[in-house]
Amino acid sequence: GAGVSQSPSNKVTEKGKDVELRCDPISGHTALYWYRQRLGQGLEFLIYFQGNSAPDKSGLPSDRFSAERTGESVSTLTIQRTQQEDSAVYLCASSPPPWNTEAFFGQGTRLTVV
Amino acid sequence: AQRVTQPEKLLSVFKGAPVELKCNYSYSGSPELFWYVQYSRQRLQLLLRHISRESIKGFTADLNKGETSFHLKKPFAQEEDSAMYYCAQPYYHFQGAQKLVFGQGTRLTINP
């Protein structure tokens, strides 16, 4: 079956512009995560969705970052007024019920802010 | 707060030498621990999980509850083991759901 799909694969944007990144989780997966991975660095947790419950936004670095997910389907991560330090690979992962323990990752979106 | 600690950001060993990637966890409520691996230009993927007690690509990991550790080991490193490795643990979030928490990762380089 299809894995976690992210689009676009690469995005180059000008400083100050808004960008929207998309994640299609594996069908039936109730949990969805967004992470940021700067060049050569580890995973930085951004946000976690669990079913229809309120998301855990504790990792969002600033109010320029927001994410939405409708039910258990597609999620979008929006970065407003992009800055050069936002340049990174943004990873999405989803996990199946009932325990949501194993995460399946997408290939990531490489964002470059110029 | 739930924490998974990988004390080494970088680890470099020679081919054929033993390798150990360290992981310590803080949450004692979950018996499940994972190692994930990210090879160059590939997506992050599960390497092994504690509950399966399996050996994957020659790697094993033993849970030590006394030391709250889940170190990843391989007796003889190979060049293709060069990758980024993450330790992870789920912890109870709410309403029966669990949230995966990852360590900061260790970049392993195997020198020829």
pLDDT per residue as tens digits for the range B37-83: 999 989 999 999 887 777 889 999 988 888 999 999 999 999 999 99
Overall size of chain B counted in residues: 112
CB A72 within 8 Å of CB A25:
yes
Residues 6+ positions from B64 with CB-CB distance below 8 Å: B70, B71
**For residue A23, what pLDDT is reported?**
97
Q: What is the mean pLDDT of residues B11-16?
A: 97
Q: Which one is predicted more confidently, B105 or A54?
A: B105
Look at residue A102 in the predicted model and tell me its pLDDT. 84
**How close does chain A come to B56, measured CA to CA in Å?**
16
Percent of chain B with pLDDT over 70: 92
Which amino acid, A7?
S
pLDDT at A10: 97
What was the pLDDT predicted at B94? 64
Residue A110 tokens, joined:
């490489």
pLDDT band for position B2 (50/70/90)? confident
Mode of pairing for the β-strands spanning B45-49 and B69-74: unpaired
Asked if B100 lies within 8 A of A103 by C-beta distance, the reply is yes
pLDDT value, residue B36: 96
Residues of chain A with pLDDT under 50: none
Tell me whether residues A102 and B34 touch, CB distance under 8 A. yes
Residue B23 sits at the chain A interface (C-beta within 8 Å): no
Take residue B93 and report the two structure tokens written for it: 């979030």
pLDDT exceeds 90 at position B28: no
| Distance from C-alpha of A23 to C-alpha of A94, rounded to nearest angstrom | 9
The per-residue pLDDT for B97 is 64
Among chain B residues, CA nearest to A5? B43
Average pLDDT over residues B87-99: 75
Does any CB of chain A come closer than 8 Å to the CB of residue B41?
A: no
Nearest-angstrom CA–CA distance, B12 and A35: 26
Q: CA A25 to CA A31: how far, in whole Å?
A: 9
B90 and A99 within 8 Å at the Cβ level: the answer is: yes
Instruction: List the one residue out of A58, A100, A26 whose CA is nearest residue B91.
Output: A100
Cα separation of A83 and A64, whole Å? Answer: 10
How far, in Å, CA of A6 to CA of A109, rounded?
A: 7
* Predicted local distance difference test score (pLDDT) of residue B46: 92
Contact B105 A51 (CB under 8 A): no
Per-residue tokens: A108: 């990531």
Which structure tokens are listed for A29?
Answer: 């997966």
Other C-beta atoms within 10 Å of A24: how many?
A: 17
Which residues on A lie below 8 Å from B32 (Cβ)?
101
Q: What is the pLDDT, as a whole number, of residue A64? A: 98
The answer for A 34-93 residues in CB contact with B (under 8 A) is 35, 40-43, 45, 48, 50-51, 53, 56, 91, 93
Of B95 and B31, the one with more pLDDT: B31
Q: Is the peptide bond before B90 cis (omega within 30 degrees of 0)?
A: no
- Provide the pLDDT confidence category of residue B110 given band limits of 50, 70 and 90: very high
Query: A53, A90, A102: best mutation site toward chain B, by most B Cβ within 10 Å?
Result: A102
* Amino acid type, B16: G
pLDDT at residue number B90: 83
